[in-house]
Chain A
Amino acid sequence: SQQGEEDPQALSIQEGENATMNCSYKTSINNLQWYRQNSGRGLVHLILIRSNEREKHSGRLRVTLDTSKKSSSLLITASRAADTASYFCATDTGRRALTFGSGTRLQVQP
């Protein structure tokens, strides 16, 4: 079973709008990471938030983490057509490799 589950599965917005994706997980974590995948390509690391952090920023990306609710959100501000991709959360439980969620497909309409 997936450790992380993203919500929504798909999201379509207009350029300039903000996009918010959520991730819920089941067990305690060391960190949570977000990755981006352009269609059919390899995943690219976007941002990592540690279990003792609540919010992190990187450019137009803002990630929050609520360990009491076992959830995280990724906010992309002022979206661009080039942000169109699938976004995955991945959890590091310290036991082995990262466990990925099923992803959110983001479509940004120009």
Chain B
Amino acid sequence: DADVTQTPRNRITKTGKRIMLECSQTKGHDRMYWYRQDPGLGLRLIYYSFDVKDINKGEISDGYSVSRQAQAKFSLSLESAIPNQTALYFCATSDSAARGGASNEKLFFGSGTQLSVL
């Protein structure tokens, strides 16, 4: 089983619809992230959460919201989807208590959700 699981893997929706992307992890990590990937632009940070009560906006949070339901679950919502939100979305986790401390922290990614907004 994957350590970081994203559902669904693919989703096609229409403009104006509300969409939720889900992420769960079995790694026991405290930190979780949502990134989006567009061709040629690399990954851009949408939201991140350093623990259940700590939610932070990333560089492109407009049009998105998140919920950290538990340490292992972090969901991303598009309240009213628009076509330019068509992208590949990745959830990632990290462990702030990793050996070596913060200077050694690395990300573990899910397999991604391909979202298409028509």
Verify if A2 is at the interface (C-beta below 8 Å from B). yes
Partner of B103, one of A50, A90, A96: A50
Contacting residues, chain B, for A97 (C-beta < 8 A): 33, 45, 48, 58
Q: Which interface class (under 10, 10 to 19, 20 to 34, 35 or more) fits B?
A: 20 to 34
Closest partner residue, chain B, to A41 (CB atom): B111
Tell me what chain B mostly uses at the interface: helix, strand, loop, or mixed: strand
Asked whether any CB of chain A lies closer than 8 Å to the CB of B118, the reply is: no
Interface flag for A20 (CB, 8 Å): no
Among B11-19, B35-43, B61-69, B70-78, the stretch in contact with A:
B35-43
User: For residues 88 through 113 of chain B, which have their beta carbon under 8 Å from a beta carbon of chain A?
Assistant: 88, 90, 92, 102-112
B112–A44 touching, CB < 8 Å: no
A59 at the A/B interface (Cβ < 8 Å)?
no
Any chain B CB within 8 A of the CB of A88? yes
Query: Is there an interface contact between A30 and B112, defined as CB atoms closer than 8 Å?
Result: no
Is B80 an interface residue when CB atoms closer than 8 A count as contact? no
Given contacts A30-B103, A41-B111, A42-B112, contact A100 B43 (CB under 8 A): yes
Is the pair A92, B88 in contact by a Cβ cutoff of 8 Å? no
Interface assignment of B56: CB less than 8 Å from any CB of chain A: yes
* Chain A: interface residue total (CB-CB under 8 A): 26
Complex interface: chain B residues within 8 A of A33 (CB): 106-107
- CB-CB under 8 A for A88 and B102, given A41-B112, A43-B107: no
| A67 contacts chain B at the CB level, 8 A cutoff | no
Q: Is the CB of A103 within 8 A of B103?
A: no
Identify the closest chain B residue to A102 (Cβ).
B42
Does residue A109 face the partner (Cβ distance < 8 Å to B)?
no
Q: List 19 A-B contacts (CB under 8 A).
A: A2-B42, A9-B40, A33-B107, A41-B111, A42-B90, A42-B110, A43-B43, A45-B106, A48-B106, A50-B103, A88-B43, A90-B107, A92-B105, A96-B56, A97-B45, A97-B48, A99-B45, A100-B35, A103-B42
